[in-house]
Chains A and B, each alone.
Chain A
Amino acid sequence: MVKFLFPTLMLHIHADLTNYRLMTLITQSSGHRLMIAMINVHLTLKMAQWLDEQHLNPYMAQTPYLPHFVLLTCWLLPLMIISSQHHMATEPINRQRTYIMLLTSLQFFLILAFSATELIMFYLMFEATLLPTLMIITRWGNQAERLNAGMYFLFYTLASSLPLLVALLLLQNTTGTLSLLTLQYSNPLNLSTYADKLWWAGCLIAFLVKMPLYGAHLWLPKAHVEAPVAGSMILAAVLLKLGGYGMMRMILLVLEPLSKELSYPFIVFALWGVVMTGLICLRQTDLKSLIAYSSVSHMGLVVGGILVQTPWGFAGALILMIAHGLTSSALFCLANTNYERIHSRNILLARGLQMVLPLMTTWWFIASLANLALPPLPNLMGELMILTSLINWSPWTLALTGAGVLITASYSLYMFLMTQRGPLPTHLIALDPSHSREHLLMALHLLPLLLLIFKPHLIWGWVS
């Protein structure tokens, strides 16, 4: 693990000592990070031989579903730096350095969170990611509403995760340990009283809010809309997955017996949320808000998949989280390329862009299709596995998930058609052409997604 933690720490020093223009800083920093990501890819492929086992593997003491999250983090952080180039170009060098150092510490905390073998350590790092994210949102966002968004972000997360801390401390009192390595061999808990049910809720609600579950999701669209592009990317791609990851850990390790009955309302909420947020997307005029709500809708499926607790459910949730991480991050990048040219997030102002940015339309096309889960893409694989396990849980869920899939397809196409097709409005004649930086960015997002079609074995964890 030190193999990527130490280089990540070195990035702090690098950002501080580089005395060149922004371009150099960004190129070096992101290049450095991509190298870290490559080490990570190498390790993950090496770990693939342990994927079939249910036990913790010798590398980083991790379960089969873990390396993907670290990999996702390491892969997306350099992309965030590349995408922020335009946003940072007008800032003085010290602020650029601070920005890059914030992203670096975020990467550091996220790697530690995903590879923690101790639940308290995981909790600490889970909380530690809040602070850099808050700063990115509120310091580098654009509108005045960003302050409100930061408040929402911080307080939703903290109010739900402080009970988690108490719940974890209680767990430590009963089992005597919080280490994931020994916790799986401890005696199953006898959970029967009313207080135990509250404890169960305390353990899960932090992650459900982080995911976010429909009903506790109000912070997410605000944060997404107000954050700069890097903030939106990291939120959608990695921070939401922190919730999913934590749920998998907690449910598998300690919450087993109670989850069967108690997860009922949460599954209902999640599936209802799939439909509702999909409908919200359909009438959305704000591009970033649309993508944010689409994230909520996809995460609803993930919550459902995790809470029914079948191997297929878990595997589907895992696949969908990875695929959605890449897809939504790509969509936020695309939205940002629009924003940099048009200076508005409004869909109505940015129509018919195929005429001026034809190559970008290709990327929009692929990203939208990935968002609506077109057949060979891993997104579809994840959704199908979740749907199957949900039908197995109760056939009636088909009504909600079916409607959800349909609506997802509609709003993805709506987004694509509204922004790309049709006549070009007259105010959009003199746009910047798309830069090769942006093409590189999109390629780095979408190529892994496309390549995963050929070897989905890498990310499906349980099903072998």
Chain B
Amino acid sequence: MSPYILAILLFSLGLGTTITFSSTHWLLAWVGLEINTLAMLPLMAQNHHPRAVEAATKYFLIQASGAAVLLFAGVINAWLTGQWDIHQAAHPLPIAIITLALSLKLGLAPLHSWLPEVFQGLNLTTNLILATWQKLAPLALMLQIQPPHSSLLIFLGLMSTLGGGWGGLNQTQLRKILAYSSTAQLGWMILVVQFSPSLTTLAILVYVVTTSATFLTLKLNKATNINMLAISWAKAPALMALTPLVLLSLAGLPPMTGFMPKWLILQELSKQGLPATATITALTALLSLYYYLRLTYAMTLTMFPNNITSTPPWRLPSAQLTLPLAILALAAISLLPLTPAAMALVAL
């Protein structure tokens, strides 16, 4: 792809999300989402592989219908209450429809089955954009509508942590595993969105950092399934020693950064008088932990047999830029001591 076209597409991606961020009008929010989708499609289908085209088709259908339903709910809201303001969407019916449309766009659990398939068809760079940047715009809308006392959100959150954990158990494809992991992580954020929106922001920030580190690691090793990951110890031994920590940070095991949002979310839930929900959510995280741990096993904790010619690549300098990966991986592992600062930010 020509760099000019690539630049235009990437800028439009940024533009779409920014429009959604800064909009107060439902139509403008919808325009932002549409621009976002339209800019993403050529990036997805850039190499004319049947799998990429298929992924782009599925992504297009889901995102277009999600956005249409969102706008429909906005119109209904306008007809019922007479105004278009996102913050003042007060009627319960449009709010419920909007929540469902946004969870379709985000890939939350009962509406998540498109996500693994789309991930599976794309290369890792596009996946990285899809898993991080593309989540921001719908999540920003979700933060703004703030449905009060919504058991729908609790349901979506629980289903997502459960479905994200459950679905990934049976996978050997790394991209599908990461798709399910993204569903599970978003479930945590959705659970707490009605109680403490800033906590959701913190959670998505940590999620973006850890997921980016994971995707960049996979990209460096060109690994798309567990077997390819298993022989990657020969390509980058030091990175492979570090990656289990990144993965377990994604799973939310204590000494790593990933525990911070989970801890604060559980705290918020128990503060709101939902200890049972908190316990169930925490326990469903174990399902996700299982597949992260399996990746860890394949990658670092066992030495996969490798033929002698493929062992020396780690001596050769890599052509890929590794500085972002280094910074992100470090941030994904070691930011837990900054929790008091994060709590202060959340309390703002």
Contacts and interface: CB of A to CB of B under 8 A. Distances in A.
Interface string A125-167: 0011011000100110000000100110011001100110110
B84 interface: no
Contact of A165 (B248, B255, B266): B266
B254 A128 contact: yes
Contacts of A154: 289, 293
Nearest to A141: B301
A124 B255 contact: yes
A187 interface: no
Interface in B76-119: none
B302 interface: yes
Interface in A73-98: 94, 98
B297 interface: yes
Contact of B282 (A94, A162, A195): A162
Contacts of A124: 254-255, 259, 336
B266 A131 contact: no
Interface string B281-298: 011011001100100010
B327 interface: no
B255 A127 contact: yes
B275 interface: yes
A131 B278 contact: no
A193 to B, nearest CB: 12
A189 interface: no
Contacts of A94: 237
A173 B266 CA distance: 12
B300 interface: yes
A169 interface: yes
A238 B74 CA distance: 60
Interface in B190-217: none
A169 B270 contact: yes
Nearest to A202: B279
Interface string B223-242: 00000000000000100010
Interface string A2-39: 00000000000000000000000000000000000000
B47 interface: no
Contacts of A159: 283, 286
B254 A127 contact: yes
A130 B285 CA distance: 16
A202 B278 CA distance: 13
A166 B279 contact: yes
Contacts of B282: 162-163, 165-166
Nearest to A109: B255
Given A128-B255, A131-B255, A158 B289 contact: yes
Interface string B244-283: 1100100001110001000100110011000100110011
Contact of B270 (A128, A162, A170): A170
For chain A, the bracket of interface size reads 20 to 34
A126 B254 CA distance: 9
A165 B263 contact: yes
B296 to A, nearest CB: 9
B242 to A, nearest CB: 11
Of B237, B271, B275, B289, most A-chain CB atoms within 10 Å: B275
B286 A166 contact: no
Nearest to B336: A124
Contact of A166 (B254, B255, B266): B266
Given A128-B254, A162-B286, A163-B279, A139 B300 contact: yes
Given A159-B286, A165-B266, A170 B275 contact: yes
B302 A131 contact: no
Contacts of B271: 169, 173
Contacts of A172: 267
Of B278, B285, B300, B336, most A-chain CB atoms within 10 Å: B278
Contacts of B293: 150-151, 154
A377 B336 CA distance: 44
Contacts of A127: 253-255, 259
Nearest to A169: B270
B266 A169 contact: yes
Contacts of A169: 266-267, 270-271, 278
A166 B275 contact: yes
A232 B275 CA distance: 36
Contacts of B254: 123-124, 127-128, 130
Contacts of A139: 300-301
A166 B270 CA distance: 7
A232 B159 CA distance: 39
Given A150-B297, A169-B270, A199-B275, 10 more contacts: A94-B237, A128-B255, A138-B302, A147-B302, A150-B301, A151-B290, A154-B289, A158-B286, A166-B266, A170-B275
Interface of A: 94, 98, 109, 123-124, 127-128, 130-131, 135, 138-139, 147, 150-151, 154-155, 158-159, 162-163, 165-166, 169-170, 172-173, 195, 199, 202
Interface of B: 237, 241, 244-245, 248, 253-255, 259, 263, 266-267, 270-271, 275, 278-279, 282-283, 285-286, 289-290, 293, 297, 300-302, 336
7 contacts: A127-B255, A139-B300, A155-B286, A158-B286, A159-B286, A166-B266, A202-B279
